[in-house]
Structures are given as structure tokens and as C-alpha cells.
Amino acid sequence: MQALLEAAKSAGVVIRTGVSIARFQQTVQGVTLFATVEGTVEQPYGDYGALILADGTRSHLRAQMRVRQWVRPYPWGALWSIVPTPADADSTDLRQWYRGCSQMFGIMPTGRTHEAPEQRVSSLFWSLPTAGYAAWCEAGLGAWKNSVTQLAGPQADAFLAHVHSPAQLTLATYADVRMQQWHDCRVLAIGDCAHAMSPQLGQGANMALVDAAALAAALRRGTSGDLPADWPAVFASYAKTRRQHLRYYRQASRLLTPLFQSNSAALAVLRDSALFLARHLPMGRNHAVTTLVGGRTGWLFGRTPDTSLHVWRHDSSLRPPDQPAASVAD
């Protein structure tokens, strides 16, 4: 983060935080921003050549683009908490435990915080239908901890010991965002604002970073010398390079999400059979790994150009084949 801030500073990029942009106005010459001051009053916040919207799934600026768009909230979400990693934790891997498709508990190593850099932390997550949140609160923390221990066994106890109140668990909800196209003249949507998906494939941040890299490449291609960029052309060129990659991940995410979050018993059997094949057949394994490193652009042969390098890096850190990366209960 520090390196990024320093690079931005030396390139003359001005970063302003803590500003809430309420709306924008687009003309042929440029884009004017309006910021909300003290929660209510709107004030002009500068004129720019272009606007890149990276304001996440619940962007309210996206609706001002003259582009058809669909936002579909998922019926399932997840409770999240970040807790200190116990000193004797026996694994540094992401671990998830499932019962059918309706129960899932996960522990994800999450690095360290700025406040206490010597302490490792882990994210705990528990799958929950969003409509069931009130009932979960009513049932109380003890009932939840029992369910987790029944699913994941005593190895979860040292993590659960850090959760003392339901307020330590935040309900994360997600939505599927689809746009007919991501650009509208001088305005472009990227990241979750443009194509949020359920986090089951763990690709949202990956896709947002690839968007940023692809946009930088499109800008390099579309500018010459000191001439101002032709933003609508740069954005159109960017969109062309992102279409196939994002289409594959959107389809995969929509197909796979019910296998991990739903009430279907049949889908649980299908998921476990598919994962078995993915682990034991070289082709299945390769497909799974290239998908999980964000390197696929299609179901059969499509790959991003540098996938072989990603696969090698990812594969070398996998467990031996006889040890599952995730435990499946029942």
C-alpha cells in the first residue's frame, strides 16, 4: 500500500479520501463531479476529462450511466468476523467445512493489521440466508458456536473463543451486477461496480485488479505524446479486452454459487462428485486451478496469456494430492 501511494505521488496523482461523490454530469467536453458535504448539501467537486467508477456493488453513481444494468441481490450472505489467530493454529491454509449446501464454516488466514503487526489474524465466515439473520440473532451466540463445533470439530474452538458478542459478526450480503456495456462516453465502470458476483469463486478482487491493469494498457495504447486521451475510444478499447474473461467468470460464478449456498441436497452430491473429478483427473485439476487463479477466458480452451506461470505458482503450493484442501462434513 505504501509503495502504491509513493508511486502515485511521484507520478503526480492527487489522492483525496473521505469525499462522498453524490452525482456527476457529463458533457461532450468532460465530466463534472458533485460531492456531498456534511451529509446533505451538494457542491461541485471539479471538472475532469473522464470518470472511472470503482465505487463497488452498491454504487449509486452507476445508475446515472446511460447503459442498461441489472442488480440481483443473492438470497444468501455470510457472517464475518476477524479474530486473532491462535498461536498454536495448525494450518495456514484457507479451510471450509460443508454440510450439504446449506451449512458452511470457513477460516481464512488474513495477514496482519497495521495496529498490531506482530499478531496474525484470521477471518471466520458462516453461510446464512439473509432472511434468516433475525432468527440467528435470536438463537444466540451459544447456539451458533455449537453448530460450528458440530460441523468443524474442536479445531474451531480456539478461534471461536475470541467471539464474545453477536456484534462481532457482520452480515455481508452480495449481489450480481450486470451491465449491457461498461462505458458511457467519458464514464467507465470497473470492479464490483461493473460486474459484482458472489464471492464463492474468490475472484472479485482479482477481476478488479485485472480491470485496472487492462485500463492502464488501453490508455497506453490510446494516447500519443502530450495529446489528451480520447477517453470514449480508450474505454471502448478497454471493454473489448475484458469481455471474454469477465463473461467466463460471471457464468462460472452463477453456475457454481448454488452448489455452495442453497438448500439443495442434489447439488451437494453434484458438487462433491465434480470436486472429486477435479482433484483426481489431470484435466479437471488443471481446469479448477486455472479458474481459481483467475486465468480462464472460456470453458474449453480459453486462457489468459500468462496463465501457465500462475498455474505453476499456485500448484507448487498445493497440498499433496491425498490431503484435501477443504474438508467436507457428512
Ligand X SMILES: Cc1cc2nc3c(=O)[nH]c(=O)nc-3n(C[C@H](O)[C@H](O)[C@H](O)COP(=O)(O)OP(=O)(O)OC[C@H]3O[C@@H](n4cnc5c(N)ncnc54)[C@H](O)[C@@H]3O)c2cc1C
Distance CA 286, CA 289 (A): 5
**Residue from 79, 160, 163, 208 binding ligand X (CB under 6 A):** 208
Q: Which of the ranges 84-92, 148-156, 186-194, 266-274 carries the binding residues for ligand X, by CB under 6 A? A: 186-194
The single-letter code of the amino acid at 100 is: G
* Cβ distance to ligand X smaller for residue 63 or 116: 63
**Of residues 66-105, those binding ligand X (CB under 6 A):** 78, 80
Q: Which of 5, 20, 153, 265 binds ligand X (CB under 6 A)?
A: 20
| Under rule CB under 6 A, residue 54 binds ligand X | yes
Task: Candidates 172, 216, 266, 269: give the one binding ligand X (CB under 6 A).
Answer: 172
Q: Which residues contact 162 (CB under 8 A, 6 or more apart)?
A: 83, 84, 168
Strand partners, 125: 80, 106
Residue 232 in the binding site for ligand X (CB under 6 A): no
Of 50-58, 81-89, 143-151, 257-265, the segment contacting ligand X by CB under 6 A is: 50-58
Measure the CA–CA gap between 234 and 241, rounded to whole angstroms: 11
325: contact with ligand X by CB under 6 A: no
230 binds ligand X (CB under 6 A): no
- 197 near 97, Cβ under 8 Å? no
Beta carbons within 8 Å of 44's beta carbon, 6+ residues apart: 32, 33, 34
**DSSP, residue by residue, 214-282:** HHHHHHHHH--TTSPP-HHHHHHHHHHHHHHHHHHHHHHHHHHHHHHSSS-HHHHHHHHHHHHHHHHSH
Selected range binding ligand X among 83-91, 192-200, 274-282, 317-325, rule: CB under 6 A: 192-200
List contacts with ligand X (CB under 6 A): 20-21, 54-56, 59, 61, 78, 80, 172, 174, 191-193, 199, 202-206, 208
